Chains A and B, each alone.
Chain A
Amino acid sequence: MLPTDFALQVRGVTKSFGANTVLRGIDLDVPRGKVVALIGPSGSGKTTMLRSLNGLEIPDAGSVTVGAGATSGLPALSVDFSTPVSKKARAEQISLLRDRSAMVFQQYNLFPHMTVLQNVIEGPVQVQKRPREEVIAEAEALLARVGLADKRDSYPFELSGGQQQRVGIVRALALKPQLLLFDEPTSSLDPELVDDVLAVIKELAEEGWTMVIVTHELAFARQMADEVVFMDGGVVVERGPASQVLRKPQEERTQAFVRRLLHEL
């Protein structure tokens, strides 16, 4: 039996691109309201793992289970990728899984032909079919929270990278997901713009959002993450409280990785 307060449980997820096996049986547990940081060297499969949670990649095997929604009242949802099903049934599973989480992309991926407000309300209005007025009011409140109230009618190209990424975060929040997924949310940003974005993410953590964050910012992971998961070569090498994994790593590969990143700073 699963504890009732789990948000995400991943079991034995594998994924290959042709002959290149990228995930070799990943397990992940995220309790509700907690923040898990995924770290690891380039090419270790972090992005692929994260994208699998949002159905942007389809694992070859393993299962992904999202816990019951705290506010939505949705029951837990489990997708077993090891059991072969028809293409159509799989697409249906992916769509249900996707509804539970929202992703913030490394390159923002805002819709350039829409204003900031349109970017934010597109999903809730067009896909979730929620009342437009209500969605706009919520979107405006969210934009105000991240300091972008006055940008609601701007187009993405008129914003700095940091502002665009905050819109990306608001777009994700507006979907009211159970799970927020971040793929290196600050690595495309100029250094002086990083802090604004990290501050927003930190606030969300304090508010109790469940988050999985792929990051190279060890200091940020240490501050924010309840648990740090170190991946290398498509497997989880080490996991534990941030203080332990980042300060006193047990595994040699983790030690080497952390040392190298600290030296680069």
Chain B
Amino acid sequence: MDFSLFWSSLGPLLLGAIKGTIPLTLASFALGLMIALVIAVMRISPNKLASAVARVYISVIRGTPLLVQLFVIFYGLPAVGVKIDPWPSAIIAFSLNVGGYAAEIIRAAILSVPRGQWEAGHMIGMSRNQALVRIILPQAARVSVPPLSNTFISLVKDTSLASLILVTEMFRVAQQVAAFSQEFMLLYLEAALIYWVICLILSTAQTSLEKRLDRYVAH
């Protein structure tokens, strides 16, 4: 293996992470969380139609491979006249996917808040929505941090799939350098190492976020 290639390719790979992997992850996760919140609230809504739509959405997202979702949006939709560029395609696919998984996490977190909290909210005069926003969701947030962090970390790694629809993120850079230099082992291990370091940093961030949200919980 040619170790000087490790150092000379580190720059391009990190650039791929900074310009590809990381923004793709952040944008998809932020959008995905918004979708998840809406779907979770629909799912627990007394409105049967809203709840059914949410259930079907979650079922489809969780029941089909992410790669297939990505391909349907980028390669499939043009057949019906909808052509979307690689980047927006990737963001749409990833955020819809996160939306499905995180919706279940948020729903479970909402349901884990004791019923007495809803009742106390109503007692002080709150509507269902007010109680949800001011009383329930802040408490659900604490419960959902660990599972949402898992979703986030999975997403970092899943963005490598975007290389298959021609998005220049880190793994695609690694593939290109590997093809050029024929050093497949080195480049793929190097990419793996960078993914790992990013996830280590995220795990640390998760721990400190949990500590921060723990300030109102007995230890």
Contacts and interface: CB of A to CB of B under 8 A. Distances in A.
B201 interface: no
A12 to B, nearest CB: 24
A102 B120 contact: no
Contacts of A1: none
Contact of A155 (B120, B139, B216): B216
Nearest to B120: A109
Interface in A144-161: 155-157
A55 interface: yes
Which residue among B124, B125, B130, B134 has the maximum number of chain A CB atoms within 10 Å of its CB? Answer: B124
A171 B124 contact: yes
A123 B217 contact: no
B119 interface: yes
Given A112-B217, A157-B217, A102 B123 contact: yes
B123 A56 contact: yes
A126 B120 contact: no
B117 interface: yes
Interface in A99-146: 99, 102-103, 105, 107, 109-114, 122-123, 126-128
Contacts of A222: none
B216 A113 contact: yes
Contacts of A63: none
A90 to B, nearest CB: 13
Contacts of B217: 112, 157
A113 B215 CA distance: 8
B123 A54 contact: yes
A42 interface: no
Contact of A122 (B127, B134, B215, B216): B134
A123 B135 CA distance: 11
A55 B125 contact: no
A98 B116 CA distance: 16
A175 interface: yes
A175 B125 contact: yes
Contacts of A105: 116, 119-120, 123
A54 B125 CA distance: 10
Interface of A: 54-56, 95, 98-99, 102-103, 105, 107, 109-114, 122-123, 126-128, 155-157, 171-172, 175
